[in-house]
């Protein structure tokens, strides 16, 4: 059985993939992989995902240049989630933040934005700023 | 709008929730929350999830005692994934490992188990060892 065959994709053929910065330990994003995205990630050493909204494969950084170079790939006890440790070029979030997880729950103030923008998404993506996600 | 109302649960009413050790940065597990599980997590300060296989809410540690005390709750730019930073009592994985992500991809050997068991699941769960997941 190949490493891909061991994985349990869901009824839509997808699996959540957590992306973690290999050096800092910061969780950068979560996106979905289908079988092909997983295999491309392993083969090329750059993270690939399947976009549920655009219904196509994408390579993280294909528009922004902010690619993720794979350091290690893990799966969990149920073989139904992927964890990829990466070296992130630039910042991960298409909104310009280092991590997509920049909304912190504050009991008084609701979801509060934490962290500074590392880049201006309009400059990097132009009018496509919502597309690479 | 309440903090829960901002969240975008999927067509099954669920959202992936990544659990990270607040101190070490290690990713411990990924499970799913529905609205009620999210609200219970925030209210009680202990992680709660919705089990897709058992079709019920569960509190992590309800059988094993290995509860997760919430340190911080984040959501991402799309409000469709939760990140919970926790203090983990004992070990997270129902198989006895510190983290559920204990299968490392080794190009030569396939999925290789990394890490030592922190406890014997048969002693902790008895014959229920597959149930608390």
List the domain boundaries for chain B.
Answer: 3-95
Quick: pLDDT tens for B7-40: 999 999 999 999 999 999 999 999 999 999 999 9
pLDDT at residue A129 greater than cutoff 80: no
Regarding the domain delimited by A3-124, which CATH topology (the fold level of the hierarchy) does it fall under?
Ubiquitin-like (UB roll) (3.10.20)
Query: A39 pLDDT band (50/70/90 cuts)?
Result: very high
Regarding the domain delimited by B3-95, which CATH topology (the fold level of the hierarchy) does it fall under?
Ubiquitin-like (UB roll) (3.10.20)
Q: What is the pTM (predicted TM-score) of this model?
A: 0.94
Burial class (CB in 10 A: 0-12, 13-18, 19+), B89: middle
Report, as ranges of residue numbers, the positions in chain B whose pLDDT lies below 70. Answer: 127-133
Chain B residues within 8 A of A133 when measuring between CB atoms: 77-78
Confirm or reject contact between B55 and chain A (CB < 8 A): no
- Of all residues in chain B, the one with the smallest CA distance to A100 is B76
What sign does the CA torsion over B72, A85, A126, B16 have?
negative
What sign does the CA torsion over A22, A76, A102, A53 have?
positive
Higher-pLDDT residue of A8, A109: A8
Confirm or reject contact between B62 and chain A (CB < 8 A): no
B76 and A133: CB-CB below 8 Å? no
- Of all residues in chain B, the one with the smallest CA distance to A43 is B107
Confirm or reject contact between A118 and chain B (CB < 8 A): no
**Distant-in-sequence, close-in-space partners of B28: CB < 8 Å, separation ≥ 6:** B19, B20, B21, B68, B86, B88, B92, B93, B98, B99, B100, B101
Confirm or reject contact between B25 and chain A (CB < 8 A): yes
- Of all residues in chain B, the one with the smallest CA distance to A23 is B25
């Amino acid at each position: 059985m190949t490493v891909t065959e061991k994985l349990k994709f869901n009824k839509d053929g997808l699996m959540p993939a957590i992306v973690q910065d290999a050096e800092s330990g910061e969780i950068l994003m979560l996106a979905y992989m289908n079988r092909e995205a997983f295999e491309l990630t392993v083969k090329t050493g750059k993270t690939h995902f399947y976009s549920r909204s655009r219904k196509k494969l994408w390579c993280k950084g294909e528009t922004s240049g902010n690619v993720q170079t794979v350091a290690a790939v893990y799966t969990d006890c149920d073989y139904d989630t992927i964890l990829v440790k990466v070296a992130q070029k630039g910042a991960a979030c298409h909104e310009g933040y280092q991590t997509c997880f920049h909304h912190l729950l504050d009991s008084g103030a609701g979801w509060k934005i934490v962290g500074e923008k590392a880049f201006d998404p309009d400059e990097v993506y132009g009018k496509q700023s919502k597309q690479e996600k």
